[in-house]
Amino acid sequence: MLREQAGYLSGQQICERLEVSRTAVWKAVNSLRKDGYEIEAVQNKGYRLLAAPDIISEEELRSRMKTKWAGRQAVYLEEVDSTNTEAKRRAEAGAPHGCLIVAGKQNAGKGRRGRGWSSPVGDCVYMSLLLRPPFAPDKAPMLTLVMALSGAQAVEEASGLSCGIKWPNDLVVNGKKMCGILTEMSTEVDYIHHVVIGVGYNVNNSSFPKELEDMATSLAIEAGRRFCRMDFIERTMFYFEKNYENFLEAGDMSALREMYEGFLLNKDRAVRVLEPGNEYEAVARGITATGELLVEKENGESVRVYAGEVSVRGIYGYV
Q: Which is nearer to ligand BTN, 107 or 207 (CB)?
A: 107
Please tell me whether residue 229 binds ligand BTN under the rule CB under 6 A.
no
Q: At closest approach, how far in Å is the CB of 100 from ligand BTN?
A: 11
> Which is nearer to ligand BTN, 199 or 221 (by Cβ)?
199
CB 244 within 8 Å of CB 257: no
In the complex with ligand BTN, the residue whose CB is nearer, 82 or 159, is 82
Pairing of strands 164-166, 302-305: unpaired
Minimum distance from CB of 126 to ligand BTN (Å)? 4
Compare residues 101 and 256 and give the one whose CB is closer to ligand BTN.
Answer: 101
Write down the least CB distance from residue 144 to ligand BTN, Å: 10
b/e map 239-271, b = 16+ CB within 10 Å: bbbebbeebeeeeebebbbebbbebbbbbeeeb
Instruction: State which residue, 11 or 104, has the beta carbon closest to ligand BTN.
Output: 104
User: In the complex with ligand BTN, which residue's Cβ is closer, 29 or 101?
Assistant: 101
Beta carbon nearer to ligand BTN, 13 or 311: 311
Region 111-150 residues binding ligand BTN, contact defined as CB under 6 A: 111-112, 115, 117, 126-128
Q: Where are the alpha helices (DSSP H) in 107-256?
A: 141-159, 219-223, 229-250
CB hemisphere CA count around 240 (13 angstroms): 31
Instruction: Give min distance, CB of 211 to ligand BTN, in A.
Output: 15
Strand arrangement of the beta sheet that strand 74-77 belongs to = 74-77, 100-103, 124-131, 191-202, 176-188, 170-173, 164-166
C-alpha to C-alpha distance for 204 and 181, rounded to whole angstroms: 18
Q: Which is nearer to ligand BTN, 47 or 240 (CB)?
A: 240
β-pairing, 100-103 vs 74-77, is parallel
- The residue at minimum Cβ distance from ligand BTN is 180
Contact positions with ligand BTN (CB under 6 A) in 157-186: 180-182
Sign of torsion, CA 287 291 312 183? positive
Least distance to ligand BTN from the beta carbon of 112, Å?
A: 4
The answer to whether the beta carbons of residues 87 and 201 sit under 8 Å apart is no
State the nearest-atom distance from the C-beta of 143 to ligand BTN, in Å: 14
Q: Rule CB under 6 A: is residue 243 a binding residue for ligand BTN? A: no
- In whole angstroms, how far apart are CA 6 and each of 2, 50, 212? 8, 10, 43
Q: What is the DSSP string of 297-314?
A: ETTS-EEEE-BTTBEEEE
Q: Is 263 helix (H, G, I), strand (E, B) or coil?
A: helix
Beta bridge partners of 128: 101, 198
Q: Is 106 in the site for ligand BTN (CB under 6 A)?
A: yes
Size of the site for ligand BTN (CB under 6 A): 19
**x/- letters, 46..85, toward ligand BTN (CB under 6 A):** ------------------------------------xxx-
Amino acid, single-letter form, for residue 165: I
Whole-number minimum distance, CB 125 to ligand BTN, in Å? 8
Q: How far is the CB of 236 from ligand BTN (least distance, A)?
A: 12
Binding residues for ligand BTN (CB under 6 A)? 82-84, 106, 109-112, 115, 117, 126-128, 180-182, 198-200
